[in-house]
Amino acid sequence: MFQLNSLSIQCLTILIKQDLPSIRDHITGITTNVFTLLHKYAAQGMGKGDNYELVLAAFKYVGVLLRDVKQYSLLPEQLATLLLYVEQDLHDHSRQASAFLVLKAILARKLECGGLSGLMEGVAKLAITSYHINVRVQAKQAYITYLYEYPLEKSLLESHLSFILSQLDYEILEGRDCALDMIESILGTFPRQFVSNHCELVFVSLAARLVNEPTPELRKKIAAALGKLVTGVEKNQGEKLLDICLTWMRDEKVAHRRLGTQLCGIFLEATDLGLVDRHLTEIMSGVRGQFVEFTVRAPQTVEEEDDHHVYQTLVTVLKLVGRYPDILTNEKHASFVENIGGHCQRLLSHAHVWIRLASCQILFKLLSSIPPSTLATWANEDQSGDRDYSSNGPSSDDSDQSEDSDSSSGFNNSSRKGSKSPSKLKKIEKPRKVPQYEPHVGFLATSTRSKLRSLILDHVDQLGSDQIEDLMSQVMKNLVYLAQVSFLFRVPKLAHA
């Protein structure tokens, strides 16, 4: 009997998809009989043995009925009964597939029922707590569909959003991952106005998780979600979020400063130029302020929190100069470039290899922003003393003298050697015309020769067999550039007796 009923329902499941006159005439009676079978055999604990196939076939029939037969609507009592069966089957691993089929059909038809809200709360928890990935995926999809398709009250929608955000702290990795997927779905599908209205709550929750999340893969997803958030909000809300970052960068706690710096890096990558342009000076000031307390310590005295702060600051600097390369050659930002370059050179002695790698990468950007010939010229000017004159023109006393008048007055090489008159001294002090290279900015713009020497030695110290390949590759790039500069150095002539 069970097999006969199961086979009959399976045949009817196929037939009801066809718009046949006999189906339209008898579909109400067929559906009533199917619900009678469900009521008799679908109770909890009875879905075993011979009646398992019957119950499974009945659920599939109802799912297809709801999904494909648009002209038929369930009675309110039938829908309420169906939701009860779905709720109990969601917790039965052997019948979850059919339960999700029926639930998705109900959501697709946007059917209203008093018990639906409570059922979806259970579905949301199932998406977080289930150990089976297919269950988490189906529960997540059903829950997001419910939030997006149903006209929920504002307070109820905010309650659901708060629940999802709270699950970012769930102790199991898979649960946190699913909660993050839900947030990404909300950011990508919900109206922009809704996202903007709740952006601060979402931003702060994601930011807090970014600091506390131990899994690198999930941290990358959180950073991507934050990037999607800051690009999806309205302009005035974006300003508020950036203000939060800048406030954290000035906080006394290292964790807050690290977070603010990292979030500024996300803004630099994700947002349009207009928003960052308006706050570029504040961002640069905040980034520069992060270097104040950085110290180079022995490995045994290193604090992990401080090192994360150092590394995130260097990464943000890389993003800053990558997006705004003109900073490196703009005289307006000369002090910033000199300060950053000096700190990066000092951090080449840091205990952690990733900090040294980031420092080398920044130094390469600073160096490569100036042609090697220009740096060599600056270094040669330091040696000959021409740099002091390059910024000062002739004095007012000899400004009216020209080369023609000097030659007509008898100034030649022999008279200069034998004369000790004041006029000779004045002529010697007159600066030569030195080619000008703009701009003379950066941490190598002054004392260029000695700084280059120090920089070369610091890079040579990085060479070793115990270093990672990326660091060695970057060190060699920097040394090749420095060698090009050194090749153009002017070697001082030795004085002969």
Under DSSP, the state recorded for 271 is S
Instruction: Give the pLDDT of residue 440.
Output: 58
Q: Which residue has the tokens 């059917």?
A: 111
- Indicate the helix (H) or strand (E) that contains 261: helix 254-270
420 Cβ contact list (under 8 Å, min separation 6): none
80, with CB counted inside 10 A (0-12, 13-18, 19+), is middle
- Indicate the helix (H) or strand (E) that contains 203: helix 199-212
Cα–Cα nearest to 133, from 88, 94, 178: 178
* CA 76 vs CA 59, 81, 112, 113: distances in Å: 17, 9, 9, 7
List own/partner pairs for 423-426 with CB under 8 A and 24 or more apart: 426/397, 426/398
Cβ atoms within 10 Å, residue 93: 11
Per-residue pLDDT of the chain (497 residues; tens, 9 = 90+): 677 888 888 888 888 888 788 888 888 888 888 888 888 777 655 555 667 788 888 888 888 888 888 888 888 888 888 888 888 888 878 778 888 988 998 998 888 888 888 899 999 999 999 989 999 999 999 999 999 988 888 889 999 999 999 999 999 999 999 999 999 999 998 988 889 999 999 999 999 999 899 999 999 999 999 999 998 888 888 889 999 999 999 988 888 999 999 999 999 988 776 788 888 899 999 998 888 766 554 444 446 668 889 999 999 999 999 999 988 888 888 889 988 999 999 999 888 889 999 999 999 999 988 888 888 888 777 665 554 433 433 333 443 433 443 433 333 433 333 334 444 444 444 444 444 444 455 678 778 888 888 999 999 988 876 678 899 999 999 999 999 988 887 655 544 44
**C-alpha 493: how far from chain center:** 54
**C-alpha 449: how far from chain center:** 39
Cβ atoms within 10 Å, residue 7: 13
The sign of the torsion formed by the CA atoms of 36, 38, 44, 50 equals positive
d(CA 75, CA 59) in angstroms, rounded, equals 16
The reported pTM is 0.77
d(CA 359, CA 341) in angstroms, rounded, equals 9
d(CA 390, CA 176) in angstroms, rounded, equals 61
**C-alpha 286: how far from chain center:** 18
Is omega for the bond preceding 492 within 30 degrees of 0, making it cis?
A: no
* CA 355 vs CA 315, 336, 348, 359: distances in Å: 9, 20, 8, 6
465: its two tokens: 């067999």
158: its two tokens: 């905010």
* CA 294 vs CA 160, 347, 418, 492: distances in Å: 42, 9, 58, 38
CB 226 within 8 A of CB 251: no
Instruction: Give the pLDDT of residue 439.
Output: 46
d(CA 411, CA 338) in angstroms, rounded, equals 44
CB 12 within 8 A of CB 60: no
d(CA 141, CA 127) in angstroms, rounded, equals 9
d(CA 138, CA 126) in angstroms, rounded, equals 10
